[in-house]
Amino acid sequence: MSLASLSLHGQRASVVHVGSHFGGREVLAIGYDRSRMSPSVLLAGKEGVCQAMTFEKAEPKSAKQPVSRHNSRRAAQSSQTEILVERSAMDAIFERSLELTQGIRVVPDMRDGAVTGFRLFGVRPESLAATFGFRNGDTIQRVNGVALNSAEAALSLYSLMRSLQHFDVDVNRNGKPARIAIRVN
């Protein structure tokens, strides 16, 4: 059974499933919108059917040029990605982290006998890791400037993650640096 965490206008988030009700609407489906590269929830009410995006990527901000659909696609392909996540959704992710990361393998990336980060394998397009902007084969090297060069560093970071408001994740993607910025609001 798929679950989603939804909230209205700053209210406390509710966990919903297909067939449950939220905001006077029935949850029809919980899935993944490939065109927007984001998990979504379809809701039906008196007004018709609407789609709620659960982890939609933020559009690039530019005072000089309005963002068109074409420009936003290009931005999504750039080396920097920013993702906005509600605190209640992050709390739900931490509570179910083992379940949500099944199928993903994390392996130390070694260079000259030293750990340079942790490489991700098995990242499927509909997975939580893909929702956060990670791709199969990415090597996570630093989070908020802290090098992930040992299992101890990774565990230390994991113990602090629930209290962080942002994650600036530096990855090596196909031999090139990239950054994924995750903002929790």
Task: Give residue-wise pLDDT tens across range 156-180.
Answer: 888 788 888 898 999 999 999 999 9
CA–CA separation, 44 and 162 (whole Å): 33
CA–CA separation, 162 and 124 (whole Å): 24
pLDDT attached to residue 179: 93
Cβ contacts of 89 within 8 Å, gap of 6 or more: 5, 13, 54, 55
| β-bridge partners, 173 | 176
Domain parsing of the chain, residue ranges: 80-184
Residue 146 tokens, joined: 């802290």
Residue 6 tokens, joined: 């939804």
**Closest C-alpha among 71, 67, 72, 79 to residue 57:** 72
Selected residue with higher pLDDT from 6 and 68: 6
Mean pLDDT of the chain: 77
Tell the CATH superfamily of the 80-184 domain: PDZ domain (2.30.42.10)
Task: Give residue-wise pLDDT tens across range 26-71.
Answer: 888 887 666 566 677 888 888 777 777 765 544 444 433 333 333 3
